Structure 1
Protein backbone atom coordinates (compact mmCIF):
# COMPACT_ATOMS: atom_id res chain seq x y z
CA UNK A 1 0.00 0.00 0.00
CA UNK A 2 1.38 3.39 -1.03
CA UNK A 3 -0.02 6.63 0.36
CA UNK A 4 1.15 9.97 -1.03
CA UNK A 5 0.20 13.07 0.97
CA UNK A 6 0.83 16.50 -0.61
CA UNK A 7 2.37 18.95 1.86
CA UNK A 8 2.82 22.11 -0.20
CA UNK A 9 2.93 23.35 -3.79
CA UNK A 10 5.34 26.24 -4.18
CA UNK A 11 6.81 28.30 -6.99
CA UNK A 12 8.66 25.69 -9.04
CA UNK A 13 8.64 23.01 -6.36
CA UNK A 14 6.36 20.76 -4.36
CA UNK A 15 6.75 18.71 -1.22
CA UNK A 16 5.00 15.44 -0.43
CA UNK A 17 5.07 12.69 2.15
CA UNK A 18 5.21 9.09 0.95
CA UNK A 19 4.34 6.13 3.16
CA UNK A 20 4.64 2.55 1.90
CA UNK A 21 3.80 -0.74 3.56
CA UNK A 22 4.75 -3.63 1.29
CA UNK A 23 3.29 -7.14 1.35
CA UNK A 24 6.11 -8.75 -0.65
CA UNK A 25 9.79 -8.03 -1.20
CA UNK A 26 9.57 -7.30 -4.91
CA UNK A 27 10.47 -4.32 -7.04
CA UNK A 28 7.72 -1.82 -7.70
CA UNK A 29 6.80 -0.88 -11.24
CA UNK A 30 9.26 1.72 -12.60
CA UNK A 31 8.12 5.33 -12.35
CA UNK A 32 9.53 8.52 -13.86
CA UNK A 33 9.05 11.64 -11.70
CA UNK A 34 7.47 14.74 -13.21
CA UNK A 35 10.58 16.72 -12.36
CA UNK A 36 13.83 16.50 -10.42
CA UNK A 37 13.06 14.55 -7.25
CA UNK A 38 15.13 14.65 -4.07
CA UNK A 39 14.03 11.96 -1.60
CA UNK A 40 14.77 11.94 2.13
CA UNK A 41 14.02 8.78 4.14
CA UNK A 42 12.31 9.60 7.42
CA UNK A 43 11.87 6.06 8.70
CA UNK A 44 12.78 2.59 7.46
CA UNK A 45 15.30 1.02 5.12
CA UNK A 46 14.72 -0.21 1.57
CA UNK A 47 16.41 -0.63 -1.78
CA UNK A 48 15.97 1.97 -4.51
CA UNK A 49 16.85 1.64 -8.17
CA UNK A 50 17.42 5.08 -9.71
CA UNK A 51 18.61 5.56 -13.25
CA UNK A 52 19.91 1.99 -13.41
CA UNK A 53 21.84 2.08 -10.16
CA UNK A 54 20.72 0.26 -7.01
CA UNK A 55 21.30 1.71 -3.55
CA UNK A 56 20.28 1.09 0.04
CA UNK A 57 18.08 3.97 1.21
CA UNK A 58 17.82 4.78 4.91
CA UNK A 59 17.55 7.96 6.99
CA UNK A 60 21.30 8.64 6.68
CA UNK A 61 21.13 9.31 2.93
CA UNK A 62 19.13 11.26 0.38
CA UNK A 63 18.91 10.23 -3.25
CA UNK A 64 18.19 12.17 -6.41
CA UNK A 65 16.37 11.25 -9.61
CA UNK A 66 16.09 13.33 -12.75
CA UNK A 67 12.96 13.73 -14.92
CA UNK A 68 14.21 11.09 -17.38
CA UNK A 69 15.38 8.54 -14.80
CA UNK A 70 13.23 5.56 -13.89
CA UNK A 71 12.82 4.84 -10.19
CA UNK A 72 11.78 1.57 -8.59
CA UNK A 73 11.61 0.54 -4.93
CA UNK A 74 11.89 -2.79 -3.07
CA UNK A 75 10.58 -2.64 0.52
CA UNK A 76 10.75 -5.18 3.33
CA UNK A 77 7.41 -6.97 3.79
CA UNK A 78 5.41 -5.86 6.81
CA UNK A 79 7.41 -2.74 7.59
CA UNK A 80 6.35 0.83 6.86
CA UNK A 81 8.83 3.15 5.20
CA UNK A 82 8.17 6.89 5.08
CA UNK A 83 9.91 9.54 3.00
CA UNK A 84 9.75 13.23 2.24
CA UNK A 85 10.10 13.99 -1.48
CA UNK A 86 11.03 17.42 -2.84
CA UNK A 87 10.02 17.71 -6.50
CA UNK A 88 11.66 20.54 -8.47
CA UNK A 89 11.02 21.96 -11.93
CA UNK A 90 13.73 22.54 -14.55
CA UNK A 91 13.86 26.32 -13.91
CA UNK A 92 14.04 25.77 -10.13
CA UNK A 93 16.96 23.38 -10.57
CA UNK A 94 18.75 25.69 -12.99
CA UNK A 95 18.48 28.61 -10.58
CA UNK A 96 20.09 26.59 -7.79
CA UNK A 97 23.37 26.79 -9.71
CA UNK A 98 24.20 23.28 -8.53
CA UNK A 99 24.82 20.07 -10.41
CA UNK A 100 22.82 16.94 -9.68
CA UNK A 101 24.53 14.35 -7.46
CA UNK A 102 26.66 11.95 -9.45
CA UNK A 103 27.69 8.48 -8.35
CA UNK A 104 25.26 7.58 -5.61
CA UNK A 105 23.40 8.66 -2.48
CA UNK A 106 24.28 11.84 -0.61
CA UNK A 107 24.98 11.58 3.14
CA UNK A 108 22.38 13.24 5.38
CA UNK A 109 23.98 14.60 8.52
CA UNK A 110 21.99 15.45 11.62
CA UNK A 111 21.57 19.09 10.67
CA UNK A 112 20.27 18.15 7.21
CA UNK A 113 17.85 15.71 8.81
CA UNK A 114 16.56 18.54 10.98
CA UNK A 115 16.34 20.88 7.97
CA UNK A 116 14.11 18.65 5.85
CA UNK A 117 11.86 17.95 8.85
CA UNK A 118 11.58 21.66 9.62
CA UNK A 119 10.61 22.32 5.99
CA UNK A 120 7.89 19.66 6.12
CA UNK A 121 6.65 20.80 9.54
CA UNK A 122 6.45 24.49 8.66
CA UNK A 123 5.36 24.29 5.01
CA UNK A 124 1.66 24.56 5.82
CA UNK A 125 2.07 27.23 8.50
CA UNK A 126 4.53 29.74 7.02
CA UNK A 127 4.11 32.16 4.13
CA UNK A 128 5.12 31.08 0.64
CA UNK A 129 8.24 33.26 0.56
CA UNK A 130 9.74 31.64 3.67
CA UNK A 131 8.85 28.13 2.51
CA UNK A 132 10.48 28.79 -0.88
CA UNK A 133 13.66 30.02 0.80
CA UNK A 134 13.81 26.94 3.04
CA UNK A 135 13.34 24.67 0.00
CA UNK A 136 16.06 26.48 -1.96
CA UNK A 137 18.51 26.30 0.90
CA UNK A 138 17.81 22.63 1.59
CA UNK A 139 18.13 21.57 -2.05
CA UNK A 140 21.24 23.68 -2.53
CA UNK A 141 22.96 22.15 0.49
CA UNK A 142 22.17 18.58 -0.52
CA UNK A 143 23.12 19.00 -4.18
CA UNK A 144 26.40 20.65 -3.18
CA UNK A 145 27.35 17.80 -0.85
CA UNK A 146 29.74 15.12 -2.09
CA UNK A 147 28.18 11.78 -2.99
CA UNK A 148 29.17 8.63 -1.19
CA UNK A 149 32.38 7.19 -2.67
CA UNK A 150 32.20 4.54 -5.36
CA UNK A 151 34.31 1.42 -5.33
CA UNK A 152 37.02 1.01 -7.96
CA UNK A 153 38.45 -2.14 -9.45
CA UNK A 154 36.94 -5.10 -11.26
CA UNK A 155 33.18 -4.95 -11.77
CA UNK A 156 32.46 -8.21 -9.95
CA UNK A 157 34.61 -7.22 -6.98
CA UNK A 158 33.05 -3.76 -6.80
CA UNK A 159 29.56 -5.25 -6.91
CA UNK A 160 30.40 -7.67 -4.08
CA UNK A 161 31.78 -4.84 -1.97
CA UNK A 162 28.67 -2.72 -2.55
CA UNK A 163 26.46 -5.67 -1.65
CA UNK A 164 28.40 -6.29 1.58
CA UNK A 165 28.20 -2.64 2.65
CA UNK A 166 24.53 -2.51 1.69
CA UNK A 167 23.80 -5.62 3.72
CA UNK A 168 25.50 -4.11 6.75
CA UNK A 169 23.45 -0.93 6.38
CA UNK A 170 20.20 -2.88 6.19
CA UNK A 171 21.04 -4.87 9.32
CA UNK A 172 22.20 -1.88 11.36
CA UNK A 173 19.35 0.36 10.22
CA UNK A 174 16.91 -2.35 11.30
CA UNK A 175 18.52 -3.26 14.64
CA UNK A 176 20.97 -0.51 15.67
CA UNK A 177 20.49 -1.08 19.39
CA UNK A 178 20.95 -4.84 19.56
CA UNK A 179 23.43 -6.08 16.96
CA UNK A 180 27.15 -6.23 17.73
CA UNK A 181 29.93 -6.06 15.14
CA UNK A 182 30.51 -9.81 15.23
CA UNK A 183 26.76 -10.43 14.87
CA UNK A 184 26.64 -8.33 11.71
CA UNK A 185 29.75 -9.99 10.26
CA UNK A 186 28.41 -13.49 10.97
CA UNK A 187 25.09 -12.74 9.29
CA UNK A 188 26.94 -11.46 6.24
CA UNK A 189 29.38 -14.37 6.15
CA UNK A 190 32.64 -12.47 6.54
CA UNK A 191 35.16 -11.46 9.17
CA UNK A 192 34.65 -8.30 11.25
CA UNK A 193 37.92 -6.91 9.88
CA UNK A 194 36.89 -7.40 6.24
CA UNK A 195 33.46 -5.94 6.93
CA UNK A 196 34.88 -2.89 8.71
CA UNK A 197 37.43 -2.16 5.99
CA UNK A 198 35.00 -2.69 3.13
CA UNK A 199 32.27 -0.59 4.73
CA UNK A 200 34.59 2.35 5.26
CA UNK A 201 35.94 2.13 1.71
CA UNK A 202 32.40 2.02 0.30
CA UNK A 203 30.67 4.64 2.44
CA UNK A 204 33.45 6.92 3.67
CA UNK A 205 32.57 6.29 7.31
CA UNK A 206 33.17 3.60 9.90
CA UNK A 207 30.50 1.16 11.00
CA UNK A 208 30.51 2.84 14.41
CA UNK A 209 29.90 6.25 12.87
CA UNK A 210 27.13 4.92 10.67
CA UNK A 211 25.44 3.15 13.58
CA UNK A 212 25.56 6.32 15.66
CA UNK A 213 24.03 8.36 12.85
CA UNK A 214 21.25 5.81 12.31
CA UNK A 215 20.38 5.91 16.01
CA UNK A 216 20.30 9.71 16.00
CA UNK A 217 17.94 9.76 13.02
CA UNK A 218 15.67 7.23 14.71
CA UNK A 219 15.70 9.32 17.86
CA UNK A 220 14.87 12.42 15.84
CA UNK A 221 11.86 10.71 14.28
CA UNK A 222 10.61 9.67 17.72
CA UNK A 223 11.20 13.14 19.20
CA UNK A 224 9.29 14.80 16.35
CA UNK A 225 6.42 12.36 16.92
CA UNK A 226 6.19 13.58 20.53
CA UNK A 227 8.10 10.86 22.39
CA UNK A 228 8.75 12.23 25.88
CA UNK A 229 10.33 9.19 27.55
CA UNK A 230 13.92 9.84 26.52
CA UNK A 231 15.32 7.33 29.01
CA UNK A 232 13.18 4.60 27.47
CA UNK A 233 14.09 5.75 23.96
CA UNK A 234 17.79 5.66 24.85
CA UNK A 235 17.47 2.07 26.06
CA UNK A 236 15.59 1.00 22.92
CA UNK A 237 18.22 2.48 20.61
CA UNK A 238 21.21 1.09 22.51
CA UNK A 239 22.50 4.28 24.15
CA UNK A 240 24.14 3.93 27.55
CA UNK A 241 21.59 6.24 29.17
CA UNK A 242 19.52 9.39 28.74
CA UNK A 243 22.63 11.62 28.97
CA UNK A 244 24.40 9.62 26.25
CA UNK A 245 21.39 10.03 23.96
CA UNK A 246 21.22 13.78 24.62
CA UNK A 247 24.94 14.25 24.05
CA UNK A 248 24.98 12.25 20.80
CA UNK A 249 21.92 14.00 19.39
CA UNK A 250 23.38 17.41 20.27
CA UNK A 251 26.72 16.56 18.63
CA UNK A 252 25.04 15.35 15.43
CA UNK A 253 22.18 17.85 15.13
CA UNK A 254 23.51 20.87 16.99
CA UNK A 255 20.56 20.88 19.41
CA UNK A 256 19.36 18.90 22.40
CA UNK A 257 16.30 16.65 22.12
CA UNK A 258 14.24 19.20 24.05
CA UNK A 259 15.28 22.02 21.71
CA UNK A 260 14.54 19.85 18.67
CA UNK A 261 11.05 19.04 19.96
CA UNK A 262 10.34 22.74 20.33
CA UNK A 263 11.83 23.56 16.91
CA UNK A 264 9.78 20.98 15.05
CA UNK A 265 6.56 21.82 16.90
CA UNK A 266 6.64 25.62 16.86
CA UNK A 267 5.51 27.69 13.84
CA UNK A 268 8.37 30.19 14.29
Structure 2
Protein backbone atom coordinates (compact mmCIF):
# COMPACT_ATOMS: atom_id res chain seq x y z
CA UNK A 1 0.00 0.00 0.00
CA UNK A 2 1.31 3.44 -0.93
CA UNK A 3 0.33 6.35 1.30
CA UNK A 4 0.27 9.84 -0.19
CA UNK A 5 2.90 11.97 1.61
CA UNK A 6 1.32 14.72 3.74
CA UNK A 7 2.81 17.61 1.79
CA UNK A 8 0.70 20.19 3.59
CA UNK A 9 1.46 18.84 7.05
CA UNK A 10 4.27 21.21 8.04
CA UNK A 11 6.90 20.71 9.28
CA UNK A 12 7.67 17.51 7.37
CA UNK A 13 8.08 14.27 9.30
CA UNK A 14 11.84 14.23 8.72
CA UNK A 15 12.23 17.75 10.15
CA UNK A 16 10.45 16.85 13.38
CA UNK A 17 13.12 14.38 14.50
CA UNK A 18 16.19 15.70 12.68
CA UNK A 19 17.82 16.83 15.95
CA UNK A 20 17.94 13.19 17.07
CA UNK A 21 19.89 12.23 13.96
CA UNK A 22 23.45 12.72 12.84
CA UNK A 23 23.81 15.63 10.42
CA UNK A 24 25.92 13.30 8.30
CA UNK A 25 22.87 11.10 7.71
CA UNK A 26 20.59 14.08 7.19
CA UNK A 27 22.59 16.21 4.78
CA UNK A 28 23.58 13.35 2.50
CA UNK A 29 20.03 12.16 1.89
CA UNK A 30 20.00 9.11 4.18
CA UNK A 31 17.21 10.34 6.43
CA UNK A 32 14.81 11.50 3.65
CA UNK A 33 15.22 8.21 1.80
CA UNK A 34 14.61 6.20 4.96
CA UNK A 35 11.54 8.26 5.86
CA UNK A 36 10.23 7.90 2.32
CA UNK A 37 9.99 4.13 2.66
CA UNK A 38 9.36 3.81 6.41
CA UNK A 39 6.67 6.49 6.71
CA UNK A 40 4.89 6.29 3.35
CA UNK A 41 4.86 2.54 2.73
CA UNK A 42 3.00 -0.05 4.81
CA UNK A 43 2.77 -3.80 4.50
CA UNK A 44 -0.60 -5.14 3.45
CA UNK A 45 -0.89 -7.08 6.71
CA UNK A 46 -0.90 -3.82 8.68
CA UNK A 47 -3.83 -2.31 6.79
CA UNK A 48 -7.02 -2.07 8.80
CA UNK A 49 -9.83 -4.33 7.70
CA UNK A 50 -11.74 -7.50 8.57
CA UNK A 51 -9.63 -10.05 10.46
CA UNK A 52 -9.96 -13.79 10.45
CA UNK A 53 -10.42 -15.09 13.99
CA UNK A 54 -8.54 -18.27 13.08
CA UNK A 55 -5.37 -16.52 11.94
CA UNK A 56 -2.29 -16.78 14.13
CA UNK A 57 -0.60 -13.68 12.71
CA UNK A 58 0.26 -11.01 15.26
CA UNK A 59 -0.95 -7.52 14.43
CA UNK A 60 1.52 -4.79 15.44
CA UNK A 61 0.07 -1.59 16.87
CA UNK A 62 1.96 1.68 17.48
CA UNK A 63 1.09 5.03 19.05
CA UNK A 64 3.11 8.24 19.41
CA UNK A 65 2.42 11.04 21.90
CA UNK A 66 4.36 14.28 21.36
CA UNK A 67 4.76 17.38 23.53
CA UNK A 68 5.99 20.50 21.77
CA UNK A 69 5.69 23.95 23.35
CA UNK A 70 6.20 25.99 20.16
CA UNK A 71 4.48 24.83 16.98
CA UNK A 72 7.05 26.70 14.85
CA UNK A 73 10.03 25.07 16.61
CA UNK A 74 10.04 21.29 16.07
CA UNK A 75 13.57 20.92 17.46
CA UNK A 76 12.63 21.16 21.17
CA UNK A 77 10.20 18.42 22.13
CA UNK A 78 9.52 15.29 24.13
CA UNK A 79 7.56 12.26 22.99
CA UNK A 80 6.52 8.76 24.03
CA UNK A 81 6.33 5.87 21.59
CA UNK A 82 4.15 2.92 22.62
CA UNK A 83 4.16 -0.34 20.67
CA UNK A 84 3.04 -3.94 20.97
CA UNK A 85 6.47 -4.95 19.65
CA UNK A 86 9.95 -4.17 21.03
CA UNK A 87 10.60 -1.64 22.52
CA UNK A 88 7.24 -1.45 24.27
CA UNK A 89 7.75 2.09 25.61
CA UNK A 90 10.35 4.47 24.14
CA UNK A 91 10.97 8.00 25.42
CA UNK A 92 12.78 10.68 23.40
CA UNK A 93 13.59 14.27 24.30
CA UNK A 94 15.53 17.07 22.64
CA UNK A 95 16.43 20.66 23.57
CA UNK A 96 17.98 23.04 21.05
CA UNK A 97 19.04 26.66 21.51
CA UNK A 98 19.34 28.30 18.08
CA UNK A 99 20.93 31.46 19.51
CA UNK A 100 24.02 29.50 20.55
CA UNK A 101 23.67 26.62 18.09
CA UNK A 102 23.82 24.06 20.91
CA UNK A 103 21.57 21.07 21.38
CA UNK A 104 21.24 17.96 23.54
CA UNK A 105 19.05 14.90 23.09
CA UNK A 106 18.33 11.52 24.59
CA UNK A 107 16.62 8.26 23.60
CA UNK A 108 15.68 5.81 26.36
CA UNK A 109 13.87 2.47 26.26
CA UNK A 110 11.66 2.61 29.36
CA UNK A 111 10.08 -0.79 28.76
CA UNK A 112 11.68 -3.45 26.61
CA UNK A 113 11.08 -7.18 26.41
CA UNK A 114 14.77 -8.06 26.23
CA UNK A 115 17.87 -5.87 26.52
CA UNK A 116 20.76 -7.29 24.51
CA UNK A 117 23.25 -4.44 24.05
CA UNK A 118 24.21 -1.29 25.93
CA UNK A 119 22.28 0.76 23.39
CA UNK A 120 19.05 -0.78 24.70
CA UNK A 121 19.54 1.13 27.96
CA UNK A 122 19.70 4.55 26.32
CA UNK A 123 21.64 6.92 24.09
CA UNK A 124 22.43 10.59 24.71
CA UNK A 125 24.02 13.12 22.39
CA UNK A 126 25.42 16.62 22.11
CA UNK A 127 25.61 18.75 18.99
CA UNK A 128 26.59 22.16 17.65
CA UNK A 129 25.18 23.53 14.45
CA UNK A 130 25.37 26.67 12.34
CA UNK A 131 24.56 27.52 8.75
CA UNK A 132 27.93 26.16 7.57
CA UNK A 133 29.06 23.67 10.23
CA UNK A 134 27.66 20.77 12.23
CA UNK A 135 29.58 18.70 14.77
CA UNK A 136 28.26 16.24 17.33
CA UNK A 137 28.64 12.94 19.12
CA UNK A 138 26.49 10.29 20.77
CA UNK A 139 27.34 8.07 23.71
CA UNK A 140 25.80 5.34 25.84
CA UNK A 141 25.79 6.18 29.57
CA UNK A 142 26.01 2.51 30.60
CA UNK A 143 29.18 1.79 28.64
CA UNK A 144 31.28 4.97 28.71
CA UNK A 145 34.48 3.07 29.33
CA UNK A 146 34.22 0.53 26.53
CA UNK A 147 32.28 2.33 23.80
CA UNK A 148 33.01 6.05 23.86
CA UNK A 149 31.83 7.64 21.70
CA UNK A 150 29.05 5.60 20.10
CA UNK A 151 29.32 7.82 17.02
CA UNK A 152 30.64 11.23 15.99
CA UNK A 153 30.32 13.43 12.92
CA UNK A 154 31.68 16.59 11.34
CA UNK A 155 29.94 18.20 8.36
CA UNK A 156 30.76 21.46 6.59
CA UNK A 157 28.74 23.24 3.92
CA UNK A 158 30.00 25.74 1.35
CA UNK A 159 27.25 27.01 -0.89
CA UNK A 160 25.51 23.98 -2.42
CA UNK A 161 28.50 21.71 -1.73
CA UNK A 162 28.61 19.63 1.46
CA UNK A 163 31.47 17.47 2.77
CA UNK A 164 31.48 15.34 5.88
CA UNK A 165 33.07 12.56 7.88
CA UNK A 166 31.45 10.22 10.40
CA UNK A 167 32.98 7.89 12.99
CA UNK A 168 30.69 4.87 13.33
CA UNK A 169 32.59 2.15 15.24
CA UNK A 170 31.22 -1.26 14.36
CA UNK A 171 34.55 -3.08 14.31
CA UNK A 172 37.10 -3.69 17.06
CA UNK A 173 36.54 -3.10 20.78
CA UNK A 174 39.70 -1.42 22.07
CA UNK A 175 39.88 2.36 21.73
CA UNK A 176 43.16 2.49 19.80
CA UNK A 177 42.08 -0.21 17.37
CA UNK A 178 38.64 1.37 16.89
CA UNK A 179 40.13 4.68 15.78
CA UNK A 180 42.77 3.12 13.54
CA UNK A 181 40.38 0.76 11.75
CA UNK A 182 39.38 2.48 8.51
CA UNK A 183 36.15 0.49 8.39
CA UNK A 184 34.84 2.62 11.25
CA UNK A 185 35.15 5.83 9.20
CA UNK A 186 32.76 7.04 6.50
CA UNK A 187 33.35 9.95 4.11
CA UNK A 188 30.84 11.72 1.86
CA UNK A 189 30.45 14.65 -0.49
CA UNK A 190 27.13 15.98 -1.70
CA UNK A 191 25.64 18.63 -3.95
CA UNK A 192 22.07 19.78 -3.74
CA UNK A 193 19.40 22.40 -3.39
CA UNK A 194 17.25 22.51 -0.25
CA UNK A 195 14.37 24.73 0.74
CA UNK A 196 12.46 25.19 3.96
CA UNK A 197 9.05 24.63 2.41
CA UNK A 198 7.57 21.26 1.39
CA UNK A 199 5.88 23.05 -1.53
CA UNK A 200 9.23 23.89 -3.17
CA UNK A 201 11.24 21.38 -5.21
CA UNK A 202 14.65 20.22 -3.97
CA UNK A 203 17.26 17.60 -4.78
CA UNK A 204 20.38 16.01 -3.32
CA UNK A 205 23.18 14.03 -4.98
CA UNK A 206 25.75 12.29 -2.82
CA UNK A 207 28.85 10.12 -3.08
CA UNK A 208 30.00 8.13 -0.05
CA UNK A 209 32.86 5.85 0.88
CA UNK A 210 31.52 3.63 3.68
CA UNK A 211 33.52 1.17 5.80
CA UNK A 212 36.49 1.55 3.45
CA UNK A 213 34.87 -1.00 1.12
CA UNK A 214 31.55 0.37 -0.18
CA UNK A 215 31.19 3.18 -2.71
CA UNK A 216 27.64 4.50 -2.62
CA UNK A 217 25.97 6.95 -4.99
CA UNK A 218 22.50 8.28 -4.21
CA UNK A 219 20.10 10.80 -5.68
CA UNK A 220 17.01 12.13 -3.93
CA UNK A 221 14.60 14.55 -5.58
CA UNK A 222 11.53 16.14 -4.06
CA UNK A 223 9.07 17.41 -6.65
CA UNK A 224 5.79 19.23 -6.23
CA UNK A 225 3.10 19.71 -8.86
CA UNK A 226 0.69 22.54 -8.15
CA UNK A 227 -2.68 22.51 -9.85
CA UNK A 228 -5.26 25.22 -10.15
CA UNK A 229 -8.78 24.08 -9.34
CA UNK A 230 -11.71 26.07 -10.70
CA UNK A 231 -15.07 25.58 -9.07
CA UNK A 232 -18.27 26.55 -10.85
CA UNK A 233 -21.37 26.92 -8.71
CA UNK A 234 -24.90 27.22 -10.06
CA UNK A 235 -28.15 27.67 -8.22
CA UNK A 236 -31.78 27.76 -9.26
CA UNK A 237 -34.79 29.12 -7.46
CA UNK A 238 -38.31 27.83 -8.01
CA UNK A 239 -41.28 30.03 -7.19
- Point out the structure with max Rg over C-alpha: 2
Between structures 1 and 2, the one with greater helix share: 1
Greater RCO, 1 or 2 (C-alpha within 8 Å, sep 6+): 1
Q: Please give the TM-score of this superposition, normalised by the length of structure 1.
A: 0.22
More strand by share: 2
TM-score relative to the length of structure 2: 0.24
